Amino acid sequence: MSIQQKTPPVIWQTSRFQIDLSTPRVMGIVNVTPDSFSDGGKHFVPGGGFSGVFAHCERLLKDGVDLLDIGGESTRPGAPPVPLEEELARVLPVVRHAVTLGVPISVDTYKPEVMQAVLDLGADIINDIWALRQPGAVEQVAAHPACGVCLMHMHREPETMQMAPMDGDVVPQVLSFLAHAAQSLEDAGVEKSRIMLDVGIGFGKTVAQNFSLLARQQEILAAGYPLLAAWSRKSSLAAVASADMAEMADRMVPSVAAALLAVERGARIVRVHDVRETVQALKVWVAAR
């Protein structure tokens, strides 16, 4: 009788944790913004303190989250940039609290100054929609001995990305961009084990292009890095599931479905709003395997 060999685990090296990706992991979204497309202002009201955000972080832990992703600037289509001091004022108190909770902490930012500040507080991961293209960002990550980093593909910028989406077959374009960004980071001295990729669903792509990236996700994995999938509550889901989804919570079921499909096609981490429901669905998926 032959002995089936187990696939060795994929480890994502981060500041404080070596994250075993042999089981899919759920990253919970913590928006410290008044204007994010899904839950802006729900947990954070400017001038109203941070108790609601702290409670949200702790609720996500009870729901089974594996990582928390904290962001202080909305990246919805048309969103204007947030001044540096405002982003720091939003994010730092939350990171200071979150690093005490015993799970890896990711910070969604493209500003090198914010990266340094949150890493100094003990954050584990930099999640950058610009894939470290802002001046000084590569150097900031490379200077840290162990932090994880997620490089995302974005066409144009948040204010303009949906005015003129990408042309043609996006899969090879996204693959080329991400492979180049990751190699450039390795050339700067960052170990491959610290790098995660994200195709950037909704960031300058049409509905059809977004779904082609899901259908052909294996082609992106050919770059040789683990993949994070961020489909949660995206407008492309509403476009195919039901145009009548005025409330973002209505997108929960298609969001969970997309997360499962992404994991089935090889994604190691799913970034979601609906943590409890996604965790439950993934438990069924794991049991079926």
Q: With beta carbons less than 8 A apart as the criterion, state whether 164 and 189 touch.
A: no
CA 57 to chain centroid, in Å, comes to 16
Whether 107 contacts 115, CB under 8 Å: yes
DSSP H helical segments within the chain, as ranges?
A: 51-62, 84-98, 112-120, 137-143, 170-187, 207-215, 217-221, 235-241, 252-264, 275-288
Catalytic residue among 90, 234, 251, 268: 234
Dihedral (C-alpha) 121, 74, 281, 97: value to the nearest 10 degrees? Answer: 20
* 271 labelled catalytic: yes
- Contact of 207 with 245, CB cutoff 8 Å: no
Nearby residues of 70 by Cβ (< 8 Å), 6 or more positions away: 30, 32, 91, 94, 95, 98, 105, 106, 107, 108
* Separation in Å, CA 141 to CA 19, 158, 277: 18, 23, 33
Q: Which of 271, 276, 283, 289 is catalytic?
A: 271
Query: Is 6 annotated as catalytic?
Result: no
Report which residue type is found at 36. Answer: S
Q: Which amino acid is at 183?
A: Q
Report the distance separating Cα 114 and Cα 268, nearest Å: 26
| Catalytic site positions | 234, 271
